Amino acid sequence: MERLEADLVIIGAGVIGLAAGRAAAMKGRDVIILEAEDAIATHTSSRNSEVIHAGLYYATGSHKADFCVRGRRALYAYLDAHGVTYKNCGKLVVAHAEEAGGLGAIMARAEANGVEKLELISGDAAREIEPALSPDITAAIRSPVSGIFDSHGYFLALQGELEDHGGMIAFGTPVRSGTLLEDGVELVTGGETPTVIRARTVINAAGHNAIAIAKSIEGPHTGALPVPRFVKGSYFSVLGKTPFSRLIYPMPDSASLGLHLTVDLSGRGRLGPDAEWLPEGAGPPFDYQVDPARAARFYASVRRYWPGLPDGALAPDYAGVRPKIVGEGEPSGDFTFITVDTRLINLIGMESPGLTSSLAIADHVAGLLE
């Protein structure tokens, strides 16, 4: 088995691993990213709505609230600077009469989180800008800073900057086990060339596998790890023209932000994700097939705000799986950082709004390294 000395090793080349690697490389660290797959961002990072979130929903004072707002501002600037396509289309969070009181709570929390330019508007005002909305919608929050973007273009830009600053990605290199040392971490990898890597610092950004990998590295951090749980979210595409120009979101629930409507950069309408809690003990690899039978719930839910959705308009599209650190029905968990000084940093529960928050998360991790 080969042996290798390294400065900073990051486990996982999803968006968080890429952003953290770029930030560290730009500060002069020698970065190696170990990726089990043969490409970047193949799981959570690429199986989502490609929405740039404003930061409306997250508990004030939480990492999610802070990083989403700061990350969103940084993301728009980054996309501009690197020529990555996006559309600042805005969003409506819509409510029926029995839900309207909840909008006030979302609005207050969003303003406390520092979200800019929000408006609480009537249902009539919402229909003036989106005429296809249901007449039963009585109120809405208008968020003009929300948007959509080319997430793959963003991933490639992060990878390019990482490599321009001397970083590298080792594809097909899963981490099998590890041991915390006095002056770093020793990792054992698999793949075509199994290797023992002795690193000064390890950042575990392995997404779905983050908790399992953290457990496989012997050290005092293992007693603080939560139980991994997973929620599958399926998406359906809308056939034909979609009569909306903004993101349309219903009121959120504990597991997701509801069956929302996005219109992607090509003009295609897409609905989802729903929230299917996977059985206790489930883990990767996941089945990403979309069950066509789930469309029935999509029609019923979406017609509450878009009554004109035609029969037969939905086609199964794709699915993603969100890593959770809480159980079904519990309040949403926060981004969690379980560290052993500067030797080992485990990034746990990196789900939505992780894509929007990625640059802010990377800055936070860079601070932990110091």
Residue 121 and residue 239 in one domain: yes
54 part of a folded domain: no
φ/ψ (deg, to 5) at 249: -120, 130
Residue 185 and residue 206 in one domain: yes
Confidence class of residue 370 from pLDDT cuts 50, 70 and 90?
A: confident
What's the average model confidence in pLDDT over 95-107?
A: 94
The domain of 220 spans: 2-47+152-227+332-369
* Counted domains in the chain: 2
66 part of a folded domain: no
Residue 148 near residue 261, CB atoms below 8 Å: no
- The pLDDT value recorded for residue 257 is 72
Confidence class of residue 258 from pLDDT cuts 50, 70 and 90?
A: confident
Residue 354 and residue 243 in one domain: no
φ/ψ (deg, to 5) at 24: -70, -40
- The pLDDT value recorded for residue 306 is 98
Residue 255: pLDDT over 70: no
Residue 106 near residue 146, CB atoms below 8 Å: no
175 part of a folded domain: yes
167 part of a folded domain: yes
- The pLDDT value recorded for residue 1 is 85
pLDDT in tens, 28-74: 999 999 999 999 999 999 999 999 999 999 999 999 999 999 999 99
Alpha helices in the chain (DSSP H): 15-26, 63-82, 100-112, 123-129, 151-164, 210-216, 295-302, 354-369
Residue, of 169 and 254, whose pLDDT is higher? 169
Residue 289: pLDDT over 80: yes
Residue 9 and residue 122 in one domain: no
Helix (H, G, I), strand (E, B) or coil at 235: strand
29 part of a folded domain: yes
Compute the distance between CA of residue 57 and CA of residue 257 in angstroms, rounded to an integer: 9
**What is the DSSP pairing of strand 51-52 with strand 91-96?**
unpaired
269 part of a folded domain: yes
* Helix (H) or strand (E) segment spanning residue 184: strand 184-189
pLDDT in tens, 314-350: 999 999 999 999 999 898 899 999 999 999 999 999 9
Residue 234 and residue 314 in one domain: yes
* Residues contacting residue 2 through CB under 8 Å, at least 6 positions apart: 193, 194, 195, 196
φ/ψ (deg, to 5) at 208: -55, -35
What's the average model confidence in pLDDT over 149-164?
A: 98
- The position carrying tokens 């309408």 is 269
CATH number at residue 284: 3.30.9.10
Compute the distance between CA of residue 349 and CA of residue 206 in angstroms, rounded to an integer: 10
Residue 38 and residue 163 in one domain: yes
Q: How many residues are there in the chain?
A: 370
Residue 101 and residue 218 in one domain: no
What's the average model confidence in pLDDT over 82-110?
A: 96
DSSP assignment string, 73-103: HHHHHHHHHHT--EE---EEEEEEGGGHHHH
What's the average model confidence in pLDDT over 201-216?
A: 98
52 part of a folded domain: no
- The pLDDT value recorded for residue 254 is 56
- The position carrying tokens 């981490």 is 175
What's the average model confidence in pLDDT over 159-171?
A: 98
CATH number at residue 177: 3.50.50.60
Residue 222 and residue 238 in one domain: no
Residue 127: pLDDT over 60: yes
What's the average model confidence in pLDDT over 169-188?
A: 98
Residue 141 and residue 257 in one domain: yes
Q: Could you tell me which residues are beta bridge partners of residue 169?
A: 33
* CA 180 vs CA 220, 228, 292, 308: distances in Å: 9, 22, 46, 58
Task: Give percent above pLDDT 70 in the chain.
Answer: 99
pLDDT in tens, 268-287: 999 999 999 999 999 999 99
- The position carrying tokens 């968990």 is 333
For every residue of 156-177, which 3-state class applies, written as one string?
Answer: HHHHHHHHHCCCEEECCCCEEE
Start-to-end CA distance of the chain, whole Å, equals 32
- What integer best gives the mean pLDDT of the chain? 96
9 part of a folded domain: yes
Residue 177 and residue 317 in one domain: no
Domain finish residue from 324, 343, 358: 324
Residue 131 and residue 235 in one domain: yes
Task: Give percent above pLDDT 90 in the chain.
Answer: 96
Helix (H, G, I), strand (E, B) or coil at 49: coil
Domain finish residue from 287, 307, 324: 324
Structure tokens at 53: 């979130």
Residue 212 and residue 250 in one domain: no
